[in-house]
Amino acid sequence: MKSKINLAFEICKKEKRPALITYTVAGDNTKNNSLKILNTISKHADIVELGFPHNTPIADGGQIQGSSHRALKNGIKLKDVFQIVKKFKKSKPNKPLILMGYYNLIYQYGEINFLKSCKNSGVDGLIIVDLPYPENKDFSKKCKKKSINFIQLLSPTTSKDRVKKIIKDSHDMIYYISMLSTTGGKLKVSPKNILKNYNKIKKINTKKNLVIGFGITDKTIKSLKSANGLVVGSMLCKTITNSIKKRQNPVTKLDKLVYNLKRKIL
């Protein structure tokens, strides 16, 4: 059976556009709001990523750190994250949802337990920022057994040999980090160069769904639309931060933002 993630990419390919993938943090700015945000933005997004926050995130920039901090201050726990996923999946059973976070939380929860909770709540995929290949081999196998996509990351520093090995071990989706940066950095490489690297990787196995993330905003998204998918995260977190500052409703603000992002890649 095809995974929901795969099906989402197939639809996008038919419509000749990249998949729009959003990232928000569970519990930001409240547990309820983060669910409302998911429900709203998934009208426009093809795949939603949901971060489970960690207080020592070594690969995240200021925006996502801010969102994680707010969520943790609200007392968000993994059981709440799974609750949010469950509720979201009840109303949107076919929308793929990917959990993203750091390994220590999974380590403490127990890998098997964690995957059980993923399965029960309807998680489709996992991105673990600090569990690289080949250290992730074992865990990625466990994911596969549960039909959960383990999403491998590639970066501009990944050697060609390594890229080949990682692609071989990947599931339905691979995440290409656009540049040397934490999340939310300013795009310091031209979209042309990003796509050049992207295409090199894509050539190795054209069947794999390869998405680009890091530094993508409403300003840059259009120039990268030849990719299979594009991830926007920090810009969403920043919009939440700004709407709180201005006492506006983050849910409607994000609705508008993601709608606009989608329009740019149609």
Partner 1 sequence: MIKIRKGVPLIDQHDKDFLYGGKFGGNFIPETLKKPIDDLASLFSKLRKDKKFIEERNHYFKTYIGVPTPFIKLENLTNYLGGAQIYAKVVSEANGGAHKIYNATVHCLIAKKAGKKFIVGDTGAGYAGKMLSMAAKKFDLKCKIFMGAKDIKRQRPNVEAIKKNGAEIVPVYTGSQTLVDAVSECMRYWVSNCDTTHMCVGSTVGPNIFIKICAYSTAQISRELFKQVMEEFGKIPNKLKLINCVGGGSSAAGFWNEFMDTHAEFIGVEAGGPKNSKLHAAPLTNGSKIGILHGAAQYVIQDKEGQIGLTDSISAGLDYPGISPLHCFLKDAKRAKYTSATDEDALKAYKLVSELENISPSLEPSHAFSEAIRIAPRLKSSEVIIVNSCGDSLKDKDIIKQKLGSYVR
Nearest C-alpha neighbor of 227 from the set 203, 202, 205, 204: 202
Q: Is 162 in the site for partner 1 (CB under 8 A)?
A: yes
Tokens of 242: 């700004």
3-class DSSP string for 165-218: HHHHCCCCEEEEECCCCCCCCCCCCCHHHHHHHHHHHHHHCCCCEEEEECCCCC
Among 30, 39, 72, 83, binds partner 1 (CB under 8 A): 72
| Residue whose CB is less far from partner 1, 57 or 122 | 57
Q: Is 259 in the site for partner 1 (CB under 8 A)?
A: no
Query: Alpha carbon 50 to chain centroid distance?
Result: 7
Q: Which of 10, 15, 28, 60 is catalytic?
A: 60
Instruction: Tell me, by CB under 8 A, how many residues bind partner 1.
Output: 40
Q: Is 159 in the site for partner 1 (CB under 8 A)?
A: yes
CB neighbours of 14 closer than 8 A, spacing ≥ 6? none
Smallest distance from partner 1 to CB 260, Å: 27
User: ∠ CA 188-192-198 to the nearest 5 degrees?
Assistant: 95
Nearest C-alpha neighbor of 184 from the set 80, 88, 51, 84: 51
Q: Quote the CA–CA distance of 118 and 232 in Å, as a whole number.
A: 23
The dihedrals phi and psi of 176, each to the nearest 5 degrees, come to -100, 120
Q: Which of 10, 15, 46, 49 is catalytic?
A: 49
Strand order in the sheet with 229-232: 149-150, 125-128, 97-101, 47-51, 19-25, 229-232, 209-213, 173-177, 152-154
| Residue whose CB is less far from partner 1, 69 or 86 | 69
Taking CB under 8 A as the rule, which mask of x and - marks residues 109-138 in contact with partner 1? x-------------------xxxxx-x---
Please say if 111 is a catalytic residue.
Answer: no
Smallest distance from partner 1 to CB 60, Å: 8
Binding part of the chain for partner 1, among 28-36, 105-113, 197-205, 221-229 by CB under 8 A, reads 105-113
Among 13, 15, 32, 55, binds partner 1 (CB under 8 A): 55
Among 18, 27, 51, 57, binds partner 1 (CB under 8 A): 57
Q: Is 215 in the site for partner 1 (CB under 8 A)?
A: no
Q: Is 38 in the site for partner 1 (CB under 8 A)?
A: no
| Residue whose CB is less far from partner 1, 112 or 180 | 180
Q: Is 61 in the site for partner 1 (CB under 8 A)?
A: yes
Residue 96, preceding bond cis, omega within 30 degrees? no
Tokens of 81: 């994250």
Smallest distance from partner 1 to CB 181, Å: 5
List residues near partner 1 by CB under 8 A.
54-61, 65, 69, 72, 77-78, 102-109, 129-133, 135, 153-159, 162, 177, 180-182, 185
